[in-house]
Structure 1
Amino acid sequence: MKKFHFVVAAILTLGASTAAIAHGEDPHAGKTMPGPKEQKAWGIAGDTKSVTRTVTLTMDDNMRFTPDKLSFKQGETVHFVIRNKGKLLHELVIGTQKELDEHAAMMLKFPAMEHDEPYMAHVSAGKTGGLIWTFNRPGEFDFACLIAGHYQAGMVGKISVAAVAR
């Protein structure tokens, strides 16, 4: 009986982890995904009442973002409105070059990998999505579409966050 419970527990655990990486038809595309407020090198998840600026980005099947260069001041909470003008699923992921490189490599190995963090937005073809992010740390950061092949095709952008004297 103990062996049976162990096997069931193993199957349930494997099933849960498999579900966590399956992108499928992307049920979260176009939605602002709530997530843990975890401090990252490039900032922290923001909330609607703290938004100080709205920026609209477009994505397309030419594997480009418009605009692809953004500048903010430290402390700004930005509502990104993300429009996918293409016929393919695209995403916006904010991070450091190193983290985006690592994540892109994982996406090549596991193209169906699901990833939902507050600094990511998945947007289905022809749809609009968004995210809210607080840039509470100065520096040079990046954003990209990490869907397998998109990053490698140059679907990237730069973010500059200027320090504010305190």
Structure 2
Amino acid sequence: MGNVAFAHGEKKSGSAAVVKEQTDWGIAGDAVNVVRTIDVSMGDDMRFKPGKLEVKEGETIRFRVKNTGKLLHEFVIGTKAENAKHAELMLKFPGMEHDEPYMAHVNAGEAGEIIWTFNRAGNFEFACLIAGHFQAGMVGTITVVAQ
């Protein structure tokens, strides 16, 4: 399958190479390094299931994200501050397209995937930053346990 992400509103496909940029919460991972897959569902109740995840520093995780709702949702990994800042921007510019390797935009009834290497310990979060969704509490936590 590979890294598939959708921009808001329209589907994009293609095999553009993922830009590997170190962030505070890790770096884009490679499928060959995946140690486990975590399934996460997100729905119109503005909740993720599960809402709390724990991974070990150094693990490369495949997140399989299923949208069980009728609305577009997204799964964005980041720091609490980074996601809050991005959510504010989304309120101001709801049509803003953004596409990073730590984001999966998933249309109703579909699934998306992110492969991410958690190479820094700490407390991070995943959130849906679509205007109103983040504000309604569509946020989960990721604890990265130091080796």
Q: Which residue of 120, 126, 129 maps to 1:143?
A: 126
Measured after TM superposition, the shift of residue 71 of structure 1 is 0.1
Unaligned 5+ runs, structure 2: 1-6
Residue 80 of structure 1 corresponds to which residue in structure 2?
Answer: 63
CA contact (8 A) 1:34 1:118 kept: no
Cα pair distance change 1:34/1:146, threshold 3 Å: farther
Unaligned 5+ runs, structure 1: 1-21
Question: Which of the pair has more CA radius of gyration?
Answer: 1
Residue 87 of structure 2 corresponds to which residue in structure 1?
Answer: 104
Deviation by residue 1:56-81 (Cα, 9 ceiling, x = unmatched): 00000000000010000000000000
Residue 116 of structure 2 corresponds to which residue in structure 1?
Answer: 133
Aligned residue pair count = 141
Measured after TM superposition, the shift of residue 32 of structure 1 is 9.4
**Superposition TM-score, scaled by structure 2 size:** 0.91
Q: Which residue of 20, 23, 35 maps to 1:52?
A: 35
Q: What is the RMSD of the two structures over their aligned residues, measured on CA atoms?
A: 1.8
Measured after TM superposition, the shift of residue 26 of structure 1 is 2.3
**Superposition TM-score, scaled by structure 1 size:** 0.81
One-letter amino acid of the counterpart of residue 77, structure 2: I
Deviation by residue 1:65-107 (Cα, 9 ceiling, x = unmatched): 0001000000000000000000000000000011001000000
| SS of residue matched to 1:112 | coil
Measured after TM superposition, the shift of residue 28 of structure 1 is 3.5
1:143 and 1:82 map into 2 onto residues whose CA distance is 11
| SS of residue matched to 1:132 | strand
Residue 3 of structure 2 corresponds to which residue in structure 1?
Answer: none
Measured after TM superposition, the shift of residue 27 of structure 1 is 1.1
CA contact (8 A) 1:46 1:133 kept: yes
Counting helix residues as a fraction of each chain, which structure ranks higher? 1
CA contact (8 A) 1:33 1:121 kept: no
2:16 and 2:95 map into 1 onto residues whose CA distance is 18
| SS of residue matched to 1:146 | coil
| SS of residue matched to 1:157 | strand
1:74 and 1:32 map into 2 onto residues whose CA distance is 28
Residue 159 (1) aligns with residue 142 (2):
yes
| SS of residue matched to 2:19 | coil
Which runs of at least 4 in structure 1 moved beyond 3 Å after TM superposition? Answer: 31-34
